[in-house]
Structure 1
Amino acid sequence: MKKLVLCFLMLAFSFQVEASSGSRFKKVLIIVLENTDYADALKQPFLQKLARRGALLTQMNGVTHPSQGNYIALLGGDTMQVVNDNPVNIKGTNLVDLLEVRGYTWKGYIEDYPGNCFTGPTKGRYARKHNPFISFIDIAQNPSRCANIVDTKTFEKDAAAGALPSFALYAPNLDDDGHDTGIGFASNWLQKNFESKFSDPQFMKELLVIITFDESKTRSGNLIYTALLGDSVVPGSSTNQTLTHIDLMRMIEDEFQLGTLGRKDNAAQGPEGIWK
C-alpha cells in the first residue's frame, strides 16, 4: 500500500513538472463568436487587423451545424453524437480530464453564467448550448470542478492580476457573440473589450489567443474565420490547411503533452507554417 501511495505521489509530481512545458505558449485563451461566414468576418476592420497581427487559418471549418456540437468538439475531440442545441449530459471524458491529470489549470469564462453548477438551458442572455463544460457529467456533477465555470467579470479580475489559467474558453452572451446581433456588433464588442489587452505585451506574454467562430451562417458549408495571436506566431502568416475545432484541440493536447482522448483528436493535426 505504501509503495502504491509513493508511486502515486511521484506520478503527481511528474505531472506538475510537465505543466510548465510548452515551447510555443504556456497558456491559451479561446474566444468563440457566433454564426458568421468566413468572408463576412473578414469584412470587419478589427478582424482584418487581428489577421494581419497574427496568423489566419484560411480553411478553418466548423465541425457541424448547429452550434452546440462545435463547442462540444472543442472539449471532447468529437461532437459526441450531439445533433442539436438541446441540453445534453455526456458521460465521456474531455479535455479538462487531460489538463487536470497533468497539473494544468482551466476555466470557462461564460458571460452571464448564473454559477452554482446551473444546468438550465438559458437565463437572461446566457445560453447553455455555448457552455460545453456543463454538458460533461464529470464536470457538472462535481462542485469543485464546475466552480471553474465563471462569469466573464471574473476574467477581468484574473487578467488584471496576471492569473489566467493554462486553458481558458471565453464565450460571450447571445448579444456580444453576434448570435442575436450580427457580426458588426460582435466585432465592435471584441475590439472594445480586448484591443487594449491584445496590445499589452504583459497580457500576451507566453499566451496564445484564438479568436474563432462556432459555425458559418451559411448551412451549405462551414468555413469560419479563425485567427491566432501570440509571441510565437509569425505576424501576417496564414495556412491553407483544412482544419476544424478538433485540430485546435489537438494543438493544445500536443503543446501541453496531454496525450489524446482517442477520438477524432487522435488523427487531428494542429496548424503548421505559422510559428516562429
Structure 2
Amino acid sequence: MAAAFALAAASLGLWASSSSASPAAAVPTPDHVVVVVFENHAYDQVVGSSSAPYINSLVRGGANLTQSFAETHPSQPNYYALFSGDTQGVTDDSCVDIGFSDAPNLASELADAGKSWGSYNESLPSEGSTVCRSGDYAQKHNPWFGFSNVPLSSAHTFDAFPADYSQLPTVSFVIPNLCSDMHDCSVATGDNWLRNNLKSYADWAQNHNSLLLLTFDEDNRLSGNRIPTVLYGQPVRAGSSTDTTYNHYDVLHTLEDMYGTAHAGNAANAQDITGIWNN
C-alpha cells in the first residue's frame, strides 16, 4: 500500500509540474522583444490602409491579431494597464507623481527573473528625465516613471537605441513622440517613422530569435476600442492571424510567460497569445 501511495504521489507531482509549466510552454522565449506603442487609431484605420504600407508588410510577414482591444480611454491608463496589469488609479492624461506606485510591473518582474529591461523614448530631453512635457515628448505615454521599483536610468532617449541589436535589453518599449506615434500626425507619418527607425531591427529579428510587437494604446473612440496589434520576427509564423479576443492584459501576460516571471495585476487572469508561433 505504501508503495502504491508513493507511486500515486509521484504521478500527481509529475502532473502538477507539467500542468503549471504548460502556459509558459505555449509561447516562445525570444532573445529580445521590442514593443512599439502607437496612438489613437482603430484597427481599420491602419490594417489594410494604403497609408500604412510598412505596417501592412509586417502584417503579411508576421502575425495579425484581428480582435485586439484596449482597456479604456484616454491614453495614459492604457499604458499603465499594458505595463503593470492595472491602471493604478490613473484615469486621465495628467502627469503623475514620479514613483507614486511600488506595484509589480513588467520591468520589476524581469529584474526579479534576472532579465533586462529598458525604454527608448523619442524626444525625451535626456536620459532618465522626468519632465512632464517637452516639445513633442509627453510623460503620459511613459508609465515606468510612475513606479519606484523601476530605475530612472532604464528610461533612455531614442537616440540611445543600440545599433548592435544584440545589446538590446531582453524586453524594451519604444515610445515615439506625439507626431511619430500618429497622435498629432497622420497614419502615413507614423508608418514612415516605423520603417525608417525600426525596419532594420525587424529584419534582424527574423534571423536572431527576436520579436517586434506593434500595438496601439487605444482606438479613435469610434470602433469599440479595437486596435491593431501585429507581431513580427523569427518566432512568428509568417502570414498567420487569429480572431481570438485579446487585450493589453493578454499582451502583458504573454510577455511575462515568455520569461517565466510572475503576473502583475489583471495579467494574472489573462491568457497567452497563441496560434501564431512557429513552434
Tell me, yes or no, whether TM beats 0.5.
Answer: yes
Aligned residue number for residue 159 of structure 2: 153
Equivalent position SS for 1:147: helix
Equivalent position SS for 2:185: coil
Q: Aligned-pair RMSD on alpha carbons?
A: 1.7
Match of 2:201 among 197, 204, 211: 197
Per-residue deviation, 1:237? 0.4
Per-residue deviation, 1:175? 1.1
CA distance in 2, matches of 1:41, 1:122: 27
Per-residue deviation, 1:266? 0.7
Q: How does 1:78-97 map to 2 (within 5 A)?
A: 78-88=86-96, 89-97=100-108
Of the structure 1 ranges 118-127 and 105-114, higher mean CA displacement relative to structure 2 is found in 118-127
Aligned residue number for residue 275 of structure 2: 273
Q: 2:128 touches 2:153 (CA, 8 Å); kept in 1?
A: yes
| AA matched with 2:247 | T
Unaligned runs of 5+ in 2: 1-26
Counterpart check, 1:240 vs 2:243 = yes
Give me the TM-score of the superposition, normalised by structure 2: 0.83
Name the % identity: 35
| AA matched with 2:232 | L
Counterpart check, 1:178 vs 2:175 = no
Unaligned runs of 5+ in 1: 1-21, 140-144
Aligned residue number for residue 216 of structure 2: 213
Counterpart check, 1:45 vs 2:48 = no
| AA matched with 1:166 | T
Per-residue deviation, 1:184? 1.5
Equivalent position SS for 2:56: helix
Aligned residue number for residue 32 of structure 1: 37
Per-residue deviation, 1:112? 1.4
CA distance in 2, matches of 1:256, 1:111: 27
CA distance in 2, matches of 1:126, 1:180: 11
CA distance in 2, matches of 1:74, 1:159: 26
Aligned residue number for residue 121 of structure 1: 132
Match of 1:254 among 249, 253, 257: 257
Aligned residue number for residue 163 of structure 1: 167
CA distance in 2, matches of 1:198, 1:116: 25
| AA matched with 1:37 | A
CA distance in 2, matches of 1:267, 1:53: 30
Per-residue deviation, 1:96? 1.4
CA distance in 2, matches of 1:183, 1:170: 17
Of the structure 1 ranges 42-51 and 111-120, higher mean CA displacement relative to structure 2 is found in 111-120
Q: How does 1:3-152 map to 2 (within 5 A)?
A: 23-42=28-47, 43=49, 44-88=52-96, 89-115=100-126, 117-139=128-150, 145-152=151-158
CA distance in 2, matches of 1:138, 1:226: 28
Q: 2:70 touches 2:218 (CA, 8 Å); kept in 1?
A: yes
Per-residue deviation, 1:244? 1.0
Aligned residue number for residue 17 of structure 1: none
Residues 239-274 of structure 1 deviation map (CA, whole Å, 9 limit, x = unaligned): 11111111111001111000212x210110121111
CA distance in 1, matches of 2:74, 2:210: 30
| AA matched with 2:172 | A
Equivalent position SS for 1:233: coil
Give me the TM-score of the superposition, normalised by structure 1: 0.84
Number of residue equivalences: 246
Residues 94-135 of structure 1 deviation map (CA, whole Å, 9 limit, x = unaligned): 111111111101101011112354333201111000111111
Q: 1:115 touches 1:147 (CA, 8 Å); kept in 2?
A: no
Bigger Rg over Cα: 2
Q: 1:87 touches 1:135 (CA, 8 Å); kept in 2?
A: no
Aligned residue number for residue 225 of structure 1: 228
Q: 2:118 touches 2:171 (CA, 8 Å); kept in 1?
A: yes
Per-residue deviation, 1:219? 4.6
CA distance in 1, matches of 2:124, 2:198: 20
CA distance in 2, matches of 1:51, 1:124: 32
Equivalent position SS for 1:200: helix
Equivalent position SS for 1:133: helix
